[in-house]
Structure 1
Amino acid sequence: MIKFFMQKPLSDIAEEAEQRQLNVQGDLWEAIAEIGEELLAFDARLSALEKQIEGGGVNNG
């Protein structure tokens, strides 16, 4: 039995590829934003610890 497959037009394939690329870019920007938020929180905690150490608020012994 011979099967015939209809191929999608190249324009449809190109549109799908572009949409996938946009989705991936969106996911990457979302991940970058989350990493940025985590870095800001880490920086705030680090600054608080530095202030405690400078002020003698941490018991080192």
Structure 2
Amino acid sequence: MKRIEDLIEQLSLLEHILEARFIQERSTQTQTVIDKGHRVGRALKETEQSIEWNICSRKSG
């Protein structure tokens, strides 16, 4: 009976470890998506500024 209780306790600990790893992995994936989103946002802003500059230079030229 003691052996079964020990195994149940080990399984419970393993479950918590796996949950923590899963949460950590999801957090890493989420941060990656956020970082890529920021990069895309900066690229879009730079593109908009470039287009505005080209339009203004054509109007003045």
User: For this structure pair, what is the TM-score category when the shorter chain's length is used for normalisation?
Assistant: 0.7 to 0.9
Query: Per chain length, whose mean CA-contact separation is higher, i.e. which structure has more relative contact order (CA < 8 Å, sep 6+)?
Result: 1
TM-score (norm: length of structure 1) = 0.73
How far apart are the structure 1 equivalents of 2:45 and 2:8?
Answer: 55
Runs of 4+ in 1 over 4 A off after TM superposition: none
Q: What is the count of residue pairs matched by the alignment?
A: 52
- 2, 23, 44: which one pairs with 2:42? 44
TM-score (norm: length of structure 2) = 0.73
* Deviation digits for residues 2-41 of structure 1 (CA, Å, limit 9, x no counterpart): xxxx756211111001100100110110111111111111
What is the CA RMSD across the aligned residues, in angstroms? Answer: 1.8
Gapped regions of structure 2 (runs ≥ 5)? 56-61
Find out whether 1:23 has 2:35 as its counterpart.
no
Higher helix share: 2
